[in-house]
Structure 1
Amino acid sequence: MARWMYGTDNYSLPCDGMVMAMLAHSVSMLLIKVAITNGINKYVMVAYSYSLSTIMLLPFLFFLHRSKRPSLTLSALCAFFLLSLFGSSGDMMTYAGIELSSPTLASAMLSLVPAFTFVLALIFRMEEVHWTHYSSQAKVLGTIVSIAGAFVMILYKGPTIFAIVSDSSNKLQFSPQLNWVVGGIFCVGSSLVSSMWYIYQASVAKKYSSVTVIVFFQLLFSTILSVVIALIKVSDPTEWKLKLDMGLIAILYQAIGATLIRYTLCTWCVHRTGPLFCAMFKPLGIIFTVCMGAIFLGDDFNLGSVIGSAIISVGFYALVWGKYKEESNIENLGSSSHNAPLLQYVA
Structure 2
Amino acid sequence: MSSDAGKKAYVVAMVIQVIYTGMYVMSKAALDGGMNSFVFIFYRQAAATLLLLPLAILLERKNAPPMSLWLFTKIFMYALLGNTVSMNLHNLSLKYTSATVASATSNSIPVITFLFAVLLHLEAIKLRASSGMAKLAGVALCVAGVLVIALYAGPPLSPLNHHRAFAGHAHAAGAATNKQGQWMKGTFLMLLANVTWSLWIVLQARLLKEYPNKLLLTALQCMLSTAQSLALAAAVTGAAGAGGKEGAWRLRMDVGLVAVAYSGFVVTGVSFYLQAWCIERRGPVFLAMSNPLGLLLTVFCSSFFLGEVVHLGSVLGGALLVAGLYSVLWGKSKEQPPQPSLPSPAPTASSPVTCTVKQGCDDEVKFEEKRNKLDSQV
**Do the structures match in fold with TM over 0.5?**
yes
**Contact 2:96–2:186 (CA<8 Å) still a contact in 1?**
yes
In structure 1, C-alpha distance between the alignment counterparts of 2:10 and 2:203, rounded to whole Å: 21
Match of residue 37 from structure 2 = 42
Match of residue 359 from structure 2 = none
Does the alignment pair 1:118 with 2:118? no
Does the alignment pair 1:319 with 2:298? no
Amino acid at match of 1:181: M
**Contact 1:172–1:179 (CA<8 Å) still a contact in 2?**
no
Does the alignment pair 1:245 with 2:248? no
Match of residue 108 from structure 1 = 104
Does the alignment pair 1:343 with 2:351? yes
Match of residue 147 from structure 2 = 151
Does the alignment pair 1:58 with 2:67? no
Structure 1, residues 261-305: CA drift from partner, whole Å, max 9, x if none?
Answer: 445655777788876555444333212211211221122222112
Distance 1:204 1:161, change over 3 A: same
In structure 2, C-alpha distance between the alignment counterparts of 1:172 and 1:232, rounded to whole Å: 28
| Counterpart mapping for 1:133-282 below 5 A | 133-163=129-159, 167-170=170-173, 176-235=179-238, 236-263=245-272, 278-282=287-291
In structure 1, C-alpha distance between the alignment counterparts of 2:89 and 2:133, rounded to whole Å: 31
The Cα of 1:157 is off from its aligned counterpart by 1.1
The Cα of 1:12 is off from its aligned counterpart by 8.0
Q: Which stretch of the first structure deviates more once superposed, 194-203 or 261-270?
A: 261-270
Match of residue 304 from structure 1 = 313
Amino acid at match of 1:207: E
What is the aligned counterpart of 2:78 among 77, 80, 83? 83
Q: Which stretch of the first structure deviates more once superposed, 11-20 or 90-99?
A: 11-20
Match of residue 292 from structure 1 = 301
Distance 1:267 1:119, change over 3 A: same
Q: Which stretch of the first structure deviates more once superposed, 194-203 or 111-120?
A: 194-203
Aligned-residue identity in percent: 27
Amino acid at match of 1:26: T
The Cα of 1:98 is off from its aligned counterpart by 1.1
The Cα of 1:210 is off from its aligned counterpart by 2.2
What is the aligned counterpart of 1:32 among 14, 23, 27? 27
Amino acid at match of 2:49: T
In structure 1, C-alpha distance between the alignment counterparts of 2:86 and 2:197, rounded to whole Å: 6
Amino acid at match of 2:304: I
Distance 1:341 1:80, change over 3 A: closer
Q: Which runs of 5 or more structure 1 residues have no equivalent in the other structure?
A: 333-339
The Cα of 1:181 is off from its aligned counterpart by 1.0
Amino acid at match of 1:259: T
The Cα of 1:257 is off from its aligned counterpart by 1.8
Partner-residue secondary structure (3-state), 2:259: helix
The Cα of 1:60 is off from its aligned counterpart by 1.4
Amino acid at match of 2:137: L
Structure 1, residues 2-21: CA drift from partner, whole Å, max 9, x if none?
Answer: x9xxx999998876665444
The Cα of 1:226 is off from its aligned counterpart by 0.5
In structure 1, C-alpha distance between the alignment counterparts of 2:58 and 2:186, rounded to whole Å: 42
Structure 1, residues 318-342: CA drift from partner, whole Å, max 9, x if none?
Answer: 11000000012x869xxxxxxx684
In structure 2, C-alpha distance between the alignment counterparts of 1:19 and 1:80, rounded to whole Å: 32
Distance 1:172 1:258, change over 3 A: farther
Structure 1, residues 181-237: CA drift from partner, whole Å, max 9, x if none?
Answer: 111111111111221122223223333332220221111011011000001000222
In structure 1, C-alpha distance between the alignment counterparts of 2:285 and 2:277, rounded to whole Å: 14
Amino acid at match of 1:24: I
Partner-residue secondary structure (3-state), 2:336: helix
Partner-residue secondary structure (3-state), 1:181: helix
In structure 1, C-alpha distance between the alignment counterparts of 2:296 and 2:177, rounded to whole Å: 28
**Contact 1:47–1:227 (CA<8 Å) still a contact in 2?**
yes
The Cα of 1:158 is off from its aligned counterpart by 0.3
In structure 1, C-alpha distance between the alignment counterparts of 2:46 and 2:141, rounded to whole Å: 39
Q: Which stretch of the first structure deviates more once superposed, 271-280 or 194-203?
A: 271-280
Paired residues in the alignment total 337
In structure 2, C-alpha distance between the alignment counterparts of 1:126 and 1:14, rounded to whole Å: 29
Distance 1:30 1:175, change over 3 A: closer
Q: Which runs of 5 or more structure 2 residues have no equivalent in the other structure?
A: 163-168, 239-244, 341-347, 353-364, 369-378
In structure 2, C-alpha distance between the alignment counterparts of 1:162 and 1:257, rounded to whole Å: 31
In structure 2, C-alpha distance between the alignment counterparts of 1:92 and 1:151, rounded to whole Å: 22
What TM-score comes out, normalization by structure 1 length? Answer: 0.84
Q: Which stretch of the first structure deviates more once superposed, 221-230 or 307-316?
A: 307-316
In structure 2, C-alpha distance between the alignment counterparts of 1:300 and 1:243, rounded to whole Å: 27
Amino acid at match of 1:343: S
**Contact 1:211–1:264 (CA<8 Å) still a contact in 2?**
no
Match of residue 336 from structure 1 = none
Distance 1:139 1:331, change over 3 A: farther
Distance 1:89 1:343, change over 3 A: same
